[in-house]
Amino acid sequence: MRIGTRGSALALRQAVIVAENLKGNRPDLEIETIVIKTTGDRMQDIALSRIGGKGVFVKEIEEALLRGEIDVAVHSLKDVPSEIPGGLEIGAVPLREDPRDVLISRNGEKISELRRGARIGTGSLRRGIQIRHWFPHIEIVPIRGNLDTRIRKLRTENLDAIVVAAAGLSRLGLAGSVTQYLPVESVVPAIGQGALAVEMRSGDGRTRELTACLNHPPSFAAAEAERAFLKVFGGGCQLPIAAHAEITGDMLEMGGLIGNLDGTRIIRDSSAGHAVDAGKIGKELAVRILKSGGDIILAEVKTEI
């Protein structure tokens, strides 16, 4: 089996996690990892919202999958647009890692302890609007790059702190650098954050059978709800929207939001229901937020990014 992935340390680690789980189920399976450079990797000095946002970390990998050069693609689910190319599907979502964002501060302060005018680095509009909303005295500094690059920029860019995803740090063995885990009630995660997507060609029965062992049904259902929410907003992974679904037993609880770029207006709501209705719950939550004024914010944001 040929697994396609990006060349960053985190992406390679995620491919290893998938390969190890596959080998654990089928020790005889031969696995090769194919590294594919994406648009997002080539243009690391430009804001994602300026280079398209949608699929910049997955497009070239999906094209290789469609050409038959790889059998599966392993992505961070939050990088995958709500609409994927015809002929492909997300076949499995493994057990989700911690979905929260975390603060890494230079001098060990929690976010509420940072000085007025403190500089927090993040490349995410979603993180930026929520931090600005709760802490308007903090300056948001746009940064991009792989996880190790962003950690290095904490000092090279004269930042007081950075905000990144907990899951990436955990997968790379860097959880010890975390200053503070930000609760999902305060900073709602990105759609799919902490989860992996195993993408394959539709109708590829052999690959579907081999990868079935990877799927974690509660994580898959949570991803379905969040991605249905994303689809209502147009599928752009770089919009200032957020959603997080969590499953307990057979029930799903979900919160979501949209905000303007300076964080002064945020519309948020929540919903709950049976996990079998995950997609419906996510869609209805997004529609309700749009009808509550989110449509006006969305129109404004699209003219500004």
Residue 72 confidence class, pLDDT cut points 50, 70, 90: very high
Phi-psi region of 55 (alpha: psi -120 to 50; beta: other; left: phi over 0): left
Structure confidence at residue 144 (pLDDT): 85
Structure confidence at residue 48 (pLDDT): 55
- The mean per-residue pLDDT over the stretch 264-292 comes to 98
DSSP 189-254: PPTTTT-EEEEEETT-HHHHHHHGGG--HHHHHHHHHHHHHHHHTTS-TTSSEEEEEEEETTEEEE
Per-residue pLDDT for 240 more than 80?
yes
What tokens does 73 get?
């693609």
Structure confidence at residue 235 (pLDDT): 64
Q: Please, what is the average pLDDT of the chain?
A: 93
Q: Which CATH number fits domain 217-305: 3.10.50.40, 3.40.50.10190, 3.40.50.2300, 3.30.160.40?
A: 3.30.160.40
Structure confidence at residue 34 (pLDDT): 97
Alpha helix (H) ranges present in the chain?
9-25, 39-42, 59-66, 125-134, 147-156, 166-171, 205-211, 217-232, 278-289, 295-304
Q: How many CB atoms lie within 10 A of CB 31?
A: 17
Q: Is 79 one of the catalytic residues?
A: yes
Lowest mean pLDDT among 41-55, 99-113, 216-230, 285-299: 41-55
Q: What pTM was computed for the model?
A: 0.93
Percent of the chain exceeding pLDDT 70 equals 94
Identify the CA nearest to 55 among candidates 234, 305, 201.
234
Structure confidence at residue 43 (pLDDT): 60
Structure confidence at residue 57 (pLDDT): 86
Same fold, 1-93+195-215 and 101-182: yes
Quick one: fold of 1-93+195-215?
D-Maltodextrin-Binding Protein; domain 2 (3.40.190)
Per-residue pLDDT for 29 more than 90?
yes
Distance from C-alpha of 39 to C-alpha of 58, rounded to nearest angstrom: 8
Residue 256 confidence class, pLDDT cut points 50, 70, 90: very high
Structure confidence at residue 70 (pLDDT): 98
Lowest mean pLDDT among 3-12, 44-53, 186-195: 44-53
* Phi and psi angles of residue 292, each rounded to the nearest 5 degrees, phi first: -90, 10
Quick one: fold of 101-182?
D-Maltodextrin-Binding Protein; domain 2 (3.40.190)
Per-residue pLDDT for 184 more than 80?
yes
Per-residue pLDDT for 50 more than 80?
no
CB 229 within 8 A of CB 191: yes
Structure confidence at residue 304 (pLDDT): 84
The packing angle between helices 217-232 and 278-289, to 10°, is: 30
Domain boundaries, the chain: 1-93+195-215, 101-182, 217-305
CB 84 within 8 A of CB 91: no
Residue 21 confidence class, pLDDT cut points 50, 70, 90: very high
pLDDT tens by residue, 73-131: 999 999 999 999 999 999 999 999 999 999 999 999 999 999 999 999 998 999 999 99
pLDDT tens by residue, 56-67: 889 999 999 999
Options 71, 79, 160, 204, the catalytic residue:
79
Structure confidence at residue 125 (pLDDT): 93
